[in-house]
Copies of this chain bind each other. A is one copy, B any other.
Amino acid sequence: MQKHHPIPAFSEITPDAPITEESHGARAKCLQRLIQLGMPVPRTLALPFDAVRLIAAGQLPDTAAMLARFGSGALVSVRPSSQNGAWGGPGSLLNIGMNDARHAELSAAHGAAAASALYLRFVQNYSTHVARLDPDLFETAGTPETALRNALRAFETEMDEPFPQDPAHQLAQVLRSMARAWEGTSARLLRQARGAPADAGLGLVVQQMALGIGRGESGAGVIQFVDSATGAPQITGRYLGQSQGRDAVAEGAEGALYLTRDPRGPSLEERCPEVFETLAAFGDACRARLHEEMQIEFTLEDGALQVLDAVRVARNSRAAVRIAVKLGEDGIISRAEALQRIAPRALSELLHHQVDPHGARDLLARGIAASPGAACGRIVFSSNAAQASAARGEACILVRRETTPEDIRGMHAASGVLTERGGITSHAAVIGRGLGLPCIVGATGLRIDAHARTLTTSDGRRLAEGDMITLDATCGEVLAGAADLLEPAVDESFRTLMRWADAVRDIGVRANADTPADARIARDFDAEGIGLCRTEHMFFEDDRLTVMREMIFADTAEDRRAALDRLLPMQRADFTHLFEIMQGTPVCIRLFDPPLHEFLPHGREGLRNLAEALDKPLSEITRRAEALSEFNPMLGMRGVRLGITMPEIYDMQARAIFEATIDASHNGDPVVPEIMIPLVSAKREVELVKARIDAVAASVRTERGRSFDYRLGVMVETPRAALRAGDIAQHTDFLSFGTNDLTQMTYGLSRDDAGRFMSSYVQAGVYPEDPFQTLDIDGVGELLHIAAERGRAARPELVLSVCGEHGGNSESIAFCRAAGFDYVSCSPFRVPVARLAAAHLAIGDAQG
């Protein structure tokens, strides 16, 4: 004869019971700790994961035996207890054991209204969560007694049987319902999305109810000792007399008390000073012994305090940093632990304005959250309008089909950027992140009519230039009107955390910075130098653009040189300024990279103006502009190809860099500039450029009678440069991987054009991730490995780094550390994220 598989035993939570987070879950373990700390926790039983799995599979637990542990007539609650509270789980259920008989007893003791309210709450919760009946049926009005009668009748009508009266049956049904809810598909997907493993278990705790009603001081409340929004020490919470559970903090909880003395009303501190003192001591104990800021749920029954539960205080990123740093400073947790408690990507929330989550939201459209933060401003449809708006001191949002290099000035002037097209690495996105400018791209539901200066949403709402909108670029939502914003939080706690991170990390972090403004942010975020200074942006300023165009349309190398001679002092001033800001740290300057046609005006009108300005026939300008146009500009005449074909450009830039090096070294550490050659695909390209740059350096040394050092390196952006890194390293001090372009070429995929299908491609699992967001370890990563290995074999002291958009990501930093790279370089606003991510990796390694 077969025996039933015995249900694994439940345990009563006592100081010595064998309760672990891995077997019974975090809540059960936390309750044991509270008990160990001497807190008055009502009797609690814990069901381990194994038991709950069997219950879900259909075995009924011996609930009569469980209830026997609480004594006759006790009511109980059931709460979920998974291994990690953040993974979620079924809701708690209170007052199990209520039935007609207990109702009568409680009515006698506390009055019919209070007893009926308790019973009603149980009938409602049981009917909707256990029997899965329509909640609307149980939303009844009237006195608690009437409502209770209606609810019981509704249950009987729907279920064709009276409301169950046997507490053991009730408890069994509750346990089975919660066990099954955990196994449901949507619950599983949800918790996996939050990081739970596929086989995560659920424990359940069955606790004797503290009713919170009675003649003496009775009620329930929650208390915490820090502010959830700032992390500052501050006792917050509410207490409500004659109530249960979290009623005190529910909306519209009339009569709830403040905890500390408060001018707005009475407080628990005043009404029950001893209870308040005890709770404060409990808070201190939790902090010291549980190493965490906890929110405590408590009940008073005739003045007697009971602690029902304690959970980690909910917190935003700013509060998380402040709490972790304070715990670390107080020696309650190690600095490593404090660092590990902050997810690197959470930091970016601190560096930018955020839309107040409690404010109203009027959603206009969704797009890709390309550069985090929030901004309010009036709609403008052109860079000129953005500049005019900035001149008037009015915040504006630049709205474009997509942005081009000509929009740089407009982007500088705007508070945020919104584009209809483009992906996470489109022009607007890259520049936006570089500037720390909130940016939403690929808002495909919008239709922009730049001519009529209107914006139409997918549901037909039309906005015009000058209308106010808000970008919530942290989540990619466009809102109507000016939403409430929260300020950035680069405070002392943040700086302390960063110092701790720097003390443990073992890979360098530099910033990509093109302008003095960028460089100042980089410096402010303690970047260890500039890893990528793109010089082309320097040529888009108004006065320079004209000279640049003269250079492009020069008929001879001499004319070209003459135009470049006029650009030289401006470039030199740029670099001097940059070197002064970055004094004492390395600055890596990428030589001119983009195709020349990016500097030409678009359209017939622009060409006509240009012809006039250059005093040349329109036909010639048109013909030469056409000759410069390219089928695939990404793969065309740019980078070192331009540098070799028109060597005067790099000559001028090298001279500007060297003269600035001397000028900026006058007072202070000598600057050692790094010069980086873009788009290399063959060793000979490096040889040719190096020979000319060395010659320029020699000239400047002679002319100025000053010596200086510099380093020459290559930006590895083509698969061929990676494969031939052994050759190339023979002539270079460093290789820096431009993983954006390298990804484009390895996949044969233009980042500007990929936006149209990337999200559907990733959703369909064709690519596991967008390779422009997450470094493609299998493909691009292998090229990086090959290049690093060959480069270092040829030149062991070769400096290796990544300066693409991937530079700031944890996955990329992990890859770079493992591959022995020297540093990563990322947008200034990503620098703190990268510093913390690097620290996490080092700590992880140290812990094995």
Contact = CB atoms under 8 A, between A and B. Distances in A.
A756 B641 CA distance: 11
B635 A753 contact: yes
A259 to B, nearest CB: 56
Given A719-B746, A748-B741, A682 B753 contact: no
Contacts of A632: 632-635, 750, 752-753
B783 A750 contact: no
Interface in A671-720: 679, 681-682, 684-685, 688, 717-720
B637 A757 contact: yes
Contact of A748 (B717, B765, B767, B783): B717
B719 A761 contact: no
A779 B750 CA distance: 21
B723 A757 contact: no
A545 interface: no
A91 interface: no
Contacts of A719: 719, 745-746, 748, 779, 783
Interface string A734-767: 0000000100111111101110110011001111
A724 interface: yes
Contacts of A778: 723-724
A723 B742 CA distance: 14
B766 A685 contact: yes
Contacts of A60: none
A644 interface: yes
A608 to B, nearest CB: 19
A648 to B, nearest CB: 15
State the main secondary structure of chain A at its contact with B.
helix
A630 interface: yes
Contacts of A761: 641, 644
Nearest to A644: B766
B631 A753 contact: yes
A782 interface: yes
Nearest to A760: B645
Nearest to A748: B718
A50 B487 CA distance: 89
A782 B750 contact: no
A636 interface: yes
Contacts of A757: 637, 641, 645
A767 B633 contact: no
A761 B636 CA distance: 13
Interface residues of A, number: 48
Contacts of A760: 645
A746 B766 contact: no
Contacts of A720: 746-748, 776, 779-780
Interface in A266-293: none
A690 to B, nearest CB: 13
Contact of A753 (B637, B753, B776): B637
Given A635-B635, A766-B684, A746 B724 contact: no
A756 B633 CA distance: 13
A723 B779 contact: yes
Contacts of A641: 757, 761
B631 A756 contact: no
Interface string A770-783: 00000010111011
Interface string A93-127: 00000000000000000000000000000000000
A286 to B, nearest CB: 48
A258 to B, nearest CB: 57
Given A719-B779, A723-B783, A779-B724, A635 B749 contact: yes
Contacts of A637: 753, 756-757
Given A682-B767, A720-B747, A748-B745, A631 B634 contact: yes
A681 B747 contact: yes
A750 B644 contact: no
Nearest to A685: B766
A768 to B, nearest CB: 8
A514 to B, nearest CB: 21
Contacts of A783: 719, 723
A644 B758 CA distance: 12
A748 B750 CA distance: 11
Nearest to A401: B626
A407 to B, nearest CB: 15
Contacts of A782: 723
Task: Specify which of A644, A749, A757 lies most central, judged by the most chain B CB atoms within 10 Å of its CB.
Answer: A749
A650 B216 CA distance: 79
Contacts of A776: 720
Interface in A609-633: 630-633
Nearest to A681: B747
Given A747-B720, A748-B718, A766 B635 contact: no
A371 B756 CA distance: 37
Contacts of A630: 750, 752-753
Interface string A716-733: 011110011000000000
A764 to B, nearest CB: 7
Contacts of A780: 720
Interface string A536-567: 00000000000000000000000000000000
Contact of A631 (B633, B688, B747, B748): B633
A767 B631 contact: no
A421 to B, nearest CB: 8
Contact of A750 (B636, B753, B765): B636
A688 B783 CA distance: 26
A428 to B, nearest CB: 13
A634 B635 contact: yes
B635 A750 contact: yes
A681 B748 CA distance: 8
Nearest to A420: B627
A625 B531 CA distance: 40
Contacts of A754: 636
A741 B748 CA distance: 9
A746 B767 contact: no
Nearest to A758: B641
Contacts of A679: 748
Nearest to A634: B632
A369 B782 CA distance: 39
A782 B721 CA distance: 12
A669 to B, nearest CB: 37
A117 B782 CA distance: 78
A717 B635 CA distance: 15
Given A631-B752, A750-B635, A765 B684 contact: yes
A350 B337 CA distance: 79
A579 to B, nearest CB: 31
Contacts of A750: 630-632, 634-636
Contacts of A747: 681, 718, 720
Contacts of A745: 635, 719, 745-746, 748
A746 B718 contact: yes
Nearest to A680: B748
Contacts of A765: 684
Sort A-B residue pairs by CB-CB distance and give the 7 closest, nearest first.
A635-B750, A636-B753, A718-B748, A632-B750, A720-B779, A719-B719, A631-B752
7 contacts: A632-B752, A635-B749, A681-B748, A719-B783, A720-B747, A720-B776, A745-B746
Given A631-B634, A635-B753, A636-B749, 12 more contacts: A630-B752, A630-B753, A632-B632, A684-B766, A688-B764, A717-B748, A719-B746, A719-B783, A720-B746, A720-B780, A724-B778, A724-B779
